[in-house]
A and B are shown apart, each in its own frame.
Chain A
Amino acid sequence: MNLEPITFPWLTLLIVLPLLAAALSLVLRKHPVFSRWLALGITLAVLAITIGIFIVADGRGGWLLYEDYPWIASFGIRYTLGLDGISLLLVLLTAFTQVLAILISWHRKYQMAVFYSMLLFMEAGIMGVFLSLDLFLFYLFWEVMLIPMFFLIGVWGHERRVYAAVKFFIFTMAGSLLMLLAIIALYLLHGQQTGDYSFALAALKNTSIPPALEPWLYAAFVLAFAVKVPLVPLHTWLPDAHTEAPTAGSLDLAGLLLKTGLYGLIRIAFPLFPEMAAASLPLLAAFALFGIFYAAWIAYAQIDAKRLIAYSSVAHVGFMVLGLCAWNVTAMEGSILLMFSHGITTGALFLMMGMIHHRTESREIGRLGGIWGKAPVLSAFFLFFALASLGLPGLNNFVGEILILLGAFHANPLWGALAMGGVVFAAAYMLRLVQGVIWGPSEGRTEEITWTDLHPRELLILAPLAVLVLWIGLYPETFLAPIREPVRNLLEGASLVAMKGGLP
């Protein structure tokens, strides 16, 4: 394998840099301007590292980077990080999103340093989730990313922030506690069987689980991840959390947190329980299909623009889960690409709603409208990202969606045909959003305020997103190449961790 001798701990750096900056920010919370620049500098540094890895990796397969140290030896807990093509895309998305999260919160007033600190903590947590190959470590990071989000919503959110934060916390907590029990059960089973007590994913994969217990353990993992994804009907925390969170929080929720659930399914749940996974795919697909329509339908009825986008996210993750369930190369690659794409378009839409809300202090579709006449550049960007979100060919989401649809149809024609119908629903709610925000007569809040079009900082946020939308839409190969081999390995059930990773 292309395992390189431990050279420089780049992966650790991806986690430690934001962690240190977060701590420093907390300590120096009397100096918000310093912590702001610190946050920007660190997130930029992390982004630079991930881009560097992306370029050096150049579509290679296998583990691109790998680190493994003993940690709590008495319990067989190790500090194992690994980066392959799938995690690479998500790590890149995380690093990129977090820079934007800092930039969009540039002028936040209340407890600014703590706010940035939370964003940095979250970055560390999410990076950890995408990189950990030791289940104990994974669980640790899984919980770590929950806490800053809880505070982001609960402290800096909109009107019903406390309700939303608590709801978010309880939903995800319930899920992750189930997972913790399942992890411990696996750990004990494996230890009893082999005498080797270990949390390493690679080791636990070979545990033989009593058939009566297996469905429960699998269900515990899947439930934990399905809450995060979220799969209908476990989704009701999401509209509240997305809507009430500050813009940076909505951005992170939609762009990153949802992806941790999907990543968990791909990286942990499916490989740990291959037979169970195979048996459950049709059921998961049914939930996914139901979710595509159910969420899209509800999105259409929304009055709050942020809530509409939130529900659109639920519909989109339905497509992603469907792609996983199809269990073939095309659909799986489509799913992973859509995970990346969706982070960009939905993130962009949340960012833009933040910009509009900042100007108008309204998110209500009925009170906005006619913005094109006031701020054409802003409106043009909004239209552009909305079109990307509804899956217009040539823009990013289409590529992922059509791959999922092609793969799903191949796996089961009914899945593909039904899901294809979902695109009309997507058009219905997205066009309603566009109609309510930028077209129509300018009345209500649009008319009452004096408008400024995008200023340079906002342009700086949106332009790279727009470039990525076109890039993935027109030349997705850049982002498909790194995931090709990992996807093949996953599907062939080849040993997920090719080496004896995480074993003492």
Chain B
Amino acid sequence: MNPNLLFIIPLLPLAAAVVNAVAGQFLPRRLSEGIAVGAVGFSTIATLLLWPLVDAEGVRAELYTWIASGDLRIPVEIVFDPLSASMTLMVVFVSTLIHLYAVGYMREERDYARFFALLNLFVFAMLTIVLADNLLLLFLGWEGVGFCSYALIGYWYREKKNADAGRKAFLVTRTGDVFLGIALLWLFSLTGTLSITGINQAAFDFGSGTLLLLTLLLLAGACGKSAQLPLMTWLPDAMAGPTPVSALIHAATMVTAGVYLLARLFPLVSLSSTGMAVIAAIGAASALYAASCAVAQREIKKVLAYSTMSQVGFMFLAIGVGAVGAAMFHLFTHAFFKALLFMGAGCAIHLTGENDIFRMGGLGRRAPLVFWTFLAGALCLAGAPLTSGFFSKDAILLATFAGGGVFQRILWGVAAATALLTVFYTFRLVYLVFAGSPRAAGEAHRLPGVMRWTLPPLAVLALAGGLLNLPVAWGGSGVLNSFLGRFAGREIHASHALEWGLAGLATLLFVLGWLLARLRYRPFPEERISPARDFLLRGWEADRLVSAVIVRPFTSLARILWQRGDRKGIDGFLEGTGHLLMAMGEGLRRATTGRLHSYLGGFAWGLIALLGWMLLRYAF
């Protein structure tokens, strides 16, 4: 097979995006939707058809040279290796279901062309990140998803809140991009190439200080896109976008980009043990932080948003302890169940006309399909034994524990505590939304079939996703790990006894968390207001902190620079010089007009006189 065919995978969504952006408004709605869904669907088929091309070294295809200048040459080149191929398949497959779902979700929206164009562009940008073999091309996708999230989160632009949320996502993630950008500049300066393969090979020659700094820069970039501490504040607000967008951001695109970046550059990153420790620590801290926030949230999508942040934290932790295979495993299972949960949440919002879980309730009987599929997703998120989430999370906990040192044990403790919190808030969500009697007062919508019927396939995948990488101890053979081969990171050495022991503990945590949530939320509780709850509800006041430390000083300094710097400072100085000359003129009884131009003119002539004098002195 011709490797150039691989370009079909990203270019199909791009083409559809262009068609919808340019002509979508004039096309019949069905056609516009069909183009959008079809493009991603055919990308999925293309990925499957081209699957035989995958080889361990990676198949390359080059389209043309994007930029060439001096020693720099940036080809538009994609690489199809086990890591990028598996990621691609996940992205296009989950995106296809989300696109289908979006057709139902957005059916009353008039501005559908803009929506579908952006949705397709989003997938294209993500595929660029995944398939690029060049950091600058990856950066194109990287900033591309930033823009798409901006435009989609702010899709309902008429409300200022939504547009602001979009802008926040762009700015916060772009702050992360700057660090990735600096890493990119540095890497080029060091190696003279931006090819990821080349950089990974050259990394062995870097000094340890360089490696640490580069790892931290890459980590900062990854934190922005993946909403990890401290660049996480955009994700909860990103809920302002339509639900399919949330599903796309949280499952298939965007937040997983950071994990993927670190996995791609793992050969470089893994050379710095301090850097790895920081990655693991950031991951664990983000996981715990987000889980604690999720416990107090009231909006259904915000619970899920914080849960994403928390689960991505697990993936960072896995990368930090060297278990790239486990990170990718969790990334895939998470993609399935999180897409499922968001789509289920969208159905719940549709059915009740409510966002607030305290005003939902009783949906279990009204919409059994939604209930059962949502429950499937929730079980995976909570890590119920034998579901996909159980295996993938366990792999991470095991890898952390097996690391051996005190530091790893602490991280493991944090992760285990997070797992317990996860079970608790997941079942809190399930009970509040589906159990009890209906409390919704909002306007209910009928659920289009296309929204309901995209749920079951995902539910099956989510429940059975563990088979992707069933550990040897459970009778599996670690399919994903062996498929990833050299991309799977470090070998984890753990006895089967330890594996079974940790699995038992995970089961115990699951049961404990579930019972606690059941006790507290099965009978609908009165809301309790407490300062601690508010603190968690507002994400540990992170927004207030950012506003006080960054946003407000930035804004007021902008005004000060303008008024004091430009107006009073520079213009004032020039006018002052004018005044001075005028005063001298007064003394000489020279006519002065009193207008600005005469002052500035005076200044100019003064300068000229000075220079002329110098000239005369030296030249003649």
Using a CB–CB cutoff of 8 Å, the interface residues on chain A facing chain B are: 163, 166-167, 169-171, 173-174, 177-178, 181, 185, 188-189, 210, 212-213, 216, 220, 233, 236, 239, 294, 297-298, 300-302, 328-330, 333-334, 370, 372-373, 376, 380, 383, 387, 392-394, 399, 402-403, 405-407, 409-410, 413, 416-417, 420-421, 423-424, 427-428, 431-432, 435, 438-442, 474-477, 480
Contacts and interface: CB of A to CB of B under 8 A. Distances in A.
Contacts of B1: none
Contacts of A178: 607-608, 611
B345 to A, nearest CB: 26
12 contacts: A171-B600, A181-B612, A216-B611, A236-B566, A301-B559, A328-B70, A393-B140, A405-B181, A409-B185, A409-B188, A428-B171, A431-B170
A298 B186 contact: no
Contact of A476 (B21, B67, B150): B67
B17 to A, nearest CB: 12
Contact of B570 (A233, A393, A439): A233
B578 to A, nearest CB: 10
Given A236-B570, A439-B154, A441-B159, A393 B143 contact: yes
Contact of B619 (A188, A383, A435, A441): A188
A332 to B, nearest CB: 9
A392 B147 contact: yes
B601 interface: yes
A297 B618 contact: no
A167 B596 contact: yes
Given A170-B601, A393-B140, A300 B170 contact: no
Contacts of B618: 210, 212-213, 216
B319 to A, nearest CB: 24
Interface stretch (B236-244, B528-536, B550-558): B550-558
A181 B69 CA distance: 38
Contact of B608 (A177, A376, A475): A177
A416 B190 CA distance: 14
A118 to B, nearest CB: 20
Interface stretch (B172-180, B320-328, B420-428, B507-515): B172-180
Nearest 5 Cβ contacts at the A-B interface: A174-B604, A329-B70, A301-B558, A409-B185, A393-B140
A477 B65 contact: yes
B160 A440 contact: yes
A413 B147 CA distance: 28
A238 to B, nearest CB: 10
Given A298-B566, A330-B70, A392-B147, A370 B597 contact: no
A373 B559 CA distance: 31
B69 A333 contact: yes
Interface string B259-288: 000000000000000000000000000000
B186 A372 contact: no
A440 B139 contact: no
A361 B359 CA distance: 47
A236 B571 contact: yes
Select the residue from B66, B67, B68 with max chain A CB neighbours within 10 A.
B67
Interface in B566-620: 566, 569-571, 574, 595-597, 600-601, 603-604, 607-608, 611-612, 614-615, 618-619
A334 B561 contact: no
Nearest to B180: A420
Contacts of A373: 158
A294 B597 CA distance: 26
Interface residues of B, number: 68
Contact of B163 (A166, A177, A440, A480): A440
A330 B72 contact: yes
Contacts of B158: 370, 373, 440-442
Interface string B51-75: 0000000000000111111111000
Contacts of B555: 300-301
B495 interface: no
B562 interface: yes
B372 interface: no
Nearest to A217: B615
Contacts of B451: none
Nearest to A189: B619
Given A372-B157, A424-B171, 9 more contacts: A163-B596, A170-B601, A178-B608, A330-B69, A393-B136, A393-B140, A406-B185, A438-B157, A442-B158
Contacts of A440: 157-158, 160, 163
Contacts of B13: none
Contacts of A477: 65, 67-68
Interface in B126-147: 136, 139-140, 143-144, 147
A3 to B, nearest CB: 27
Interface in B521-564: 554-555, 557-559, 561-562
B568 to A, nearest CB: 11
Nearest to B161: A440
A174 B139 contact: no
A188 B618 CA distance: 12
A496 to B, nearest CB: 20
A442 B147 CA distance: 23
B189 interface: yes
Given A177-B608, A178-B611, A329-B70, A416 B170 contact: no
B177 to A, nearest CB: 7
Select the residue from A297, A421, A477 with max chain B CB neighbours within 10 A.
A297
Contacts of B608: 174, 177-178, 181
Contacts of B72: 330, 403, 406
Nearest to A188: B619
A297 B553 CA distance: 11
Contact of B611 (A171, A181, A210, A383): A181
A406 B187 CA distance: 10
Contact of B68 (A169, A334, A480): A480
B557 A474 contact: no
A189 B615 CA distance: 11
Contacts of A328: 70
A297 B561 contact: yes
A24 B192 CA distance: 56
Contacts of B569: 233
B457 interface: no
A297 B557 contact: yes
A22 B25 CA distance: 44
Contacts of A423: 174, 177-178, 181
B182 interface: yes
Given A301-B561, A409-B185, A435 B167 contact: yes
A378 B596 CA distance: 39
Contacts of A302: 562
A329 B70 CA distance: 6
B565 interface: yes
Nearest to B571: A236
A329 B73 CA distance: 13
Nearest to A417: B182
Nearest to B159: A441
A370 B159 CA distance: 9
A329 B69 contact: yes
A300 B618 CA distance: 46
Contacts of A213: 614-615, 618-619
Interface in B9-64: 21, 25, 64
Contacts of A169: 597
Contacts of B21: 380
Contacts of A409: 182, 185-186, 188-189
A423 B72 CA distance: 21
Interface in B184-226: 185-186, 188-189
A188 B164 CA distance: 62
Nearest to A300: B558
A185 B608 CA distance: 13
A387 B67 contact: no
A170 B597 contact: yes
Contacts of B619: 185, 188-189, 213
A326 B561 CA distance: 27
A424 B163 contact: no
